[in-house]
Structure 1
Amino acid sequence: MSWTDERIEKLTKMWEGGATASQIADELGGVSRNAVIGKAHRLGLKARPSPVKANEKPVRPAPAPKKPKPVEAAPAAPEAKVEAPVVRAAPPPVAPAPRAPEPAAPPVAAEDVAPVAPKGPRVVSVGPGGFLRQGPGDQQQPIPPAPPRRLVPAKPSAEIADKTSLLDLNDRVCRWPMGHPGEPDFHFCGDKVNPGFPYCVEHCGRAYQAQLPRGARRPPPPLPFGGPRVR
């Protein structure tokens, strides 16, 4: 149900009048107690303290006073003789004898101080394979890292000093291989490429050949050993 101006005005009036959230919800109808509290919070109405206090203890009625019992008279005890305490004089205090000053110890250098050995037996753990594991006191200082190495470019061999190698290839030079890859002077053509092709004009003529007309074509050579076996 929507909050109309009349319902809001009625809620504000009852809230300021001291009515509880449950009473306001019953009066308006169609809303819950939590909805009334939330609407009052959004309207900025003054919050009221809760009637229930967390630290308040219930008040219990005080118990009725008990009637005192009659006290009976106790029989008189015989009088006892009290002896006066004997006071003894304390002996005079004796002053302690003065001590001779102890000789000062000579200074000890830091190099002469021996390292303190750990108490108790040393425990050595044997790992898999028979090697001895290091304990906390056996660990060495970390080794400083080696200085960075300066990379020097390798010099090409004399056979391909002025020729195009694999590292020199790009989209503007011919990639036609010259020689066998196992040979020391193996290199690539390196001439200017034919536009639209990976090779130069000369090697394009060797890589791409025009297809002959259908009537001038020759049959392919026969396969060795009679070709594949037909099952």
Structure 2
Amino acid sequence: MSWTEERVDTLRRLFEAGVSFAAIAAELNITRNAAIGKAHRLGLYREAPAQLGGRPKSQKEQRPRKERVFFVKRSVPLPPETHAADAGPLHIGLFDLTDATCKFPFGTQTPFTFCGHATAPGLPYCKAHCLIAYQPVDQRRQKSSEKSSLWHAARAA
């Protein structure tokens, strides 16, 4: 399709009359995107439509930011007496696990084994492995900031 002077004049006339690009495209038997593209190349622009709601975006209400809450399972402190896991894992297999056995894994290659001691109430691990698996948020943030500062120091060097 070529843009003849007659077609360009029709596009300009309809555009200035405020006709939508869909209607212009139907009139010229072209796609809407072709009409928009040609109008853009001709330098024809329309004002942005008024915003709904009556207020400009710059005066948008500033809502107070919600405080982020992190949920972390905190471990139950160990009693002063030694825990059964201190004596070592029972090394039970995957098919021997139950809801009441500690699922802390051991080994890096098959066959994997698991701790097998009694779990802390409502948790998948025994008390000793809960201390390893669950860290308070503050400790994780501190470790993250230490890694970040090391990364920035190495990058600057």
TM-score range, shorter chain: 0.3 to 0.5
TM-score (norm 2): 0.32
**Largest Rg, 1 or 2:** 1
Structure (1 or 2) with the greater helix fraction: 2
Q: Which of the pair has the greater relative contact order for Cα pairs under 8 Å at 6+ separation?
A: 2
